[in-house]
Amino acid sequence: MNTFNNGSARAGTAKHIRNMMLGLDAPVELGNKTKASAINLDNAATTPAFKNVVQEIHKELLYYSSIGRGMGQKSEHTNEVYDSGRDTVLDFVGADSTHYTVFYVNNTTDGMNKLASALIDSHRDMVLTTRMEHHANDLTWRLRARTVYTEVDKQGRLILEDFERILRRLRGRVKYVSVTAASNVTGYVNDVHQIARTAHKYGAKIIVDGAQIIAHRAFRMTGDCPEENIDFLVFSAHKMYSPFGGGAVVGLTKELNRHVPRFYGGGMIETVTDRKVFFTDSPDLYEAGSPNYPGVVGMLRSMKNLQSLGFDYIEAHEQRLLGMALDGLRQIPGVILYGDSIHYTDRVGILVFTLQGIDNETVSRLLAEYSGIAVRHAAFCAHPYVRRLTGDLTVRTGSDGTPLPPEGLVRVSFGIYNTEADVQCLVNTVKQLLESHKEKSIACNNSSNGRSERRCVCDRC
């Protein structure tokens, strides 16, 4: 149900959502030693928690007990919450229990690795992925199987024709196509259902990294036809306002039952003899050891919150903030934007930029010191993609010959609680930062020419 997509309710929605969040007004110390409320523009990394997520966890901890092992009342209650939560996850992603199973993980990286450890039978297996991926959806396959890659265009979007071309050329040898639903660097949203159709045409299964889509756009495992259905989806709770170490994998039950993850322990077996092990079916097969119950409880509560707010509202709100930020930054001399900053409806609320003459780490530090703005800098665990965005594919090496990471960028990423005032503060602070840098550079030049006794304070000298 979408509670907030009518015009009369919209005016109060932003304030309502901010009141739902924990810690937004907690003060931080600025560079001048004064205090101000932090502005979190690093939601692609992790999000603050909903207040009722924390409350729900606290309530459930009063009845917390062993899962799958105990017979007491508390244990039975915990089992019921934990197991029935799988239906909540299936509903959230538009999947049905007839074909799909949910198993819980700690985060997307954990989920990808558990899935890959099960699905990959040998190093000869072939996986098609892309040059857009987070390392979790690249190295996971690269170090276990033969990997091939589709490319991105000059704006950083996937070249969709590459999927057909490569799959046709490899003639059915690709077992899995693994692709992000939305980039953690540029925010581009990929048409994973179209990619699924192409993958299935050539006999491959599709795996989707949902980390950056799950809290920003409505996502469904089913497409317009069976050929467009998604086979596996992996995502984290800490990017959807429940940062307590939770996540899930949604996958085809029959396919999951055909494999065994290389992660062993209690809870995943039927019986063990002196010489043999008999495994159970999914989801228990993929959940060895004691589970992260608080993480699951928080994630389930967060899903219900997002569904109540409505993804129509969430998408429209974040698009408005993204457009305002891109428009404001584009007008500032010295700002270099990456990706398509004109046509951005296929982007979740993420943008990346650099400032001329100032390294990305300094920019990030000064945004925090000037205005309490938290962003992310460097290469975002997506080194091949960042190299392509900047147009510099050269891999530099250090003095010992070790390859160095690419020159980084600064990333801004919006959440449902961010406001236009946050965006305006970002734009104003970037202007101030550039003006201050210009003044320091002039002072530095004057000093070096003997015309001033001012001590150089610019970060590059």
CATH number, domain containing residue 443? 3.90.1150.10
| Mode of pairing for the β-strands spanning 376-378 and 373-374 | unpaired
Instruction: Pick the range with the lowest mean pLDDT from 46-60, 65-79, 204-218, 335-349.
Output: 65-79
Angle (deg, nearest 10), helices 293-309 and 311-330? 80
**Does residue 2 fall inside a structural domain?**
no
Q: Examine the domain organization and report whether 168 and 204 are in the same domain.
A: yes
Q: Domain residues for 129? A: 52-308
Taking 80 as the threshold, does the pLDDT of residue 458 lie above it? no
Provide the percentage of residues in the chain whose pLDDT is more than 70.
93
Q: Is residue 94 situated within a structural domain?
A: yes
Average pLDDT score over residue span 375-396:
96
- Residue 140 sits in the same domain as residue 255: yes
17 — pLDDT class (breaks 50, 70, 90): very high
pLDDT at residue 450 tops 90: no
Res 5: pLDDT: 45
User: Which stretches of 265-370 are assigned E, i.e. beta strand?
Assistant: 269-272, 277-279, 335-338, 350-355
Confidence of residue 457 (pLDDT cuts 50, 70, 90): very low
> Mean pLDDT over residues 279-283, rounded?
95
Are both 217 and 327 inside the same structural domain? no
In a domain, 180, yes or no: yes
Return the pLDDT at 346: 98
- pLDDT over 90 at 189, yes or no: yes
Domain of residue 106, CATH code: 3.40.640.10
Q: What is the mean pLDDT of residues 383-407?
A: 93
- Does residue 236 share a domain with residue 98? yes
Q: Lowest-confidence range among 179-183, 246-250, 251-255, 435-439?
A: 435-439
Q: Are residues 210 and 329 in the same domain?
A: no
User: Quick check: is 456 in a domain?
Assistant: no
Identify whether residues 220 and 203 lie together within a single domain: yes
Query: Does residue 262 fall inside a structural domain?
Result: yes
C-alpha angle 181/184/186, rounded to 5°?
95
Task: For residue 25, report the phi and psi dihedrals to the nearest 5 degrees.
Answer: -100, 5
One domain for residues 260 and 319: no
Residues 301 and 330 in one domain: no
- The answer on 239 and 212 residing in a single domain is yes
Same domain, 79 and 167: yes
Q: What Rg, from alpha-carbon coordinates, does the chain have?
A: 24
| 119 vs 113: CA distance, rounded Å | 10
Contact (Cβ atoms closer than 8 angstroms) between residue 160 and residue 179:
no
What single-letter amino acid sits at 278? F
pLDDT band at 146 (very low <50, low <70, confident <90, very high): very high
Q: What is the mean pLDDT of residues 368-390?
A: 97
Is residue 454 in a domain? no
Of the listed ranges 70-84, 244-258, 444-458, the one predicted with least confidence = 444-458
pLDDT grade for 15, boundaries at 50, 70 and 90: confident
| Domain end among 273, 308, 343 | 308
User: Which pLDDT value is given to residue 241?
Assistant: 98
Query: Per the domain annotation, does 317 fall within a domain?
Result: yes
pLDDT at 12: 66
| pLDDT exceeds 90 at position 453 | no
| Tally of domains within the chain | 2
Q: Report which secondary-structure segment, H or E, holds 313.
A: helix 311-330
pLDDT recorded at residue 69: 74
| pLDDT tens digits for range 237-280 | 999 999 989 999 999 999 999 999 999 999 999 999 999 999 99
Residue 339 has pLDDT above 50, yes or no: yes
Domain-terminating residue out of 272, 287, 308: 308
- Stretch 166-195: mean pLDDT: 98
Last residue of a domain, one of 273, 290, 308: 308
Q: Are residues 150 and 257 in the same domain?
A: yes
Residues 177 and 201 in one domain: yes
Domain membership of residue 453 (yes or no) is no
- Across the range 285-292, mean pLDDT stands at 94
What tokens were used for 192? Answer: 């994973």
